[in-house]
Amino acid sequence: MGQYAFGEDDDELEHVVVRGLSERKQILATAEAATGGLLAHRLTSVGGFDDCYRGGLVVTPSTPESSSPGGGVSVPDASADAARSAAKRCREQFDTDWALWVGPISRISDYEGAADAPTVWIALADRQQSTAIELNVAGDPAIVKSRVAKSALNLLRLKLVT
């Protein structure tokens, strides 16, 4: 099962991530534009999260840098470079080992009939580097938020096991 198996019994991605961070004595911060705080909610629902999760920001796609909390994490343009940069700024602002950025969805309005499906950039930064992935997010908005949050957690999980 390789990278697809991550836990046993009732383990969810957030349990595995919190356990992995705690075992390594590492700290995570998050910044979310597409998930409305769902990523933070999932992490804080796990016992022991306070040992490895410093907190996060929930921003709207129209939040300018000057008015975002702390002034340090703004909603960037939709690109890999912008997503990596936002994750890096989040990690620096919270002074953590890791930061996850979940960017805004490229086209929040109705995508029916569009040539391409909406996408979102997810980025992970550590103290040395950052990585970003673009995720296709066509579908029901409630399901999309959950899928994006799980994809972000899985990106971190895969880094923790390597």
CB 155, CB 122: distance < 8 Å: yes
- pLDDT score recorded for residue 74: 52
Q: What is the mean pLDDT of the chain?
A: 84
Share above pLDDT 70 across residues of the chain, in percent, rounded to a whole number:
77
For residue 56, the model assigns a pLDDT of 94
What was the pLDDT predicted at 66?
38
The pTM is what? 0.82
Between 117 and 144, where is the model more confident? 144
Chain CA centroid to CA 94, Å? 15
Answer yes or no: is pLDDT of 128 > 60.
yes
Overall size of the chain counted in residues: 162
> Is 3 inside any structural domain?
no
**Mean pLDDT, residues 9-35:** 91
Alpha helices, DSSP H only, in 31-79? 38-44
- Provide the edge-to-edge strand list for the sheet that holds 119-125: 53-58, 28-32, 98-102, 119-125, 130-136
Task: Please give the pLDDT value at position 161.
Answer: 85
Q: pLDDT digit string (tens) for 72-106?
A: 455 556 789 999 999 999 999 999 999 999 998 87
Q: For residue 33, is it within any domain? A: yes
Q: Is residue 1 part of a domain?
A: no
Mean pLDDT across the stretch 142-159? 92
Q: Rounded distance, CA 105 to CA 140, Å?
A: 13
Residue with tokens 């930064």: 125
Give how many domains the chain has, as a whole number.
1
Q: What is the pLDDT of residue 68?
A: 47
What's the pLDDT at 149? 95
Does residue 39 register a pLDDT over 80?
Answer: yes
- What pLDDT score does 64 carry? 46
The answer to whether position 61 is within a domain reads yes
Structural domain boundaries enclosing 32 = 11-160
Residue 86 lies in a domain: yes
CATH assignment at residue 22: 3.90.950.20
19 inside domain: yes
Element (H, E) at 83: helix 80-94
Q: How far is Cα 31 from Cα 85, in angstroms, rounded to an integer?
A: 12
15-23 mean pLDDT:
95
Asked, for residue 2, whether it belongs to a domain, the answer is no
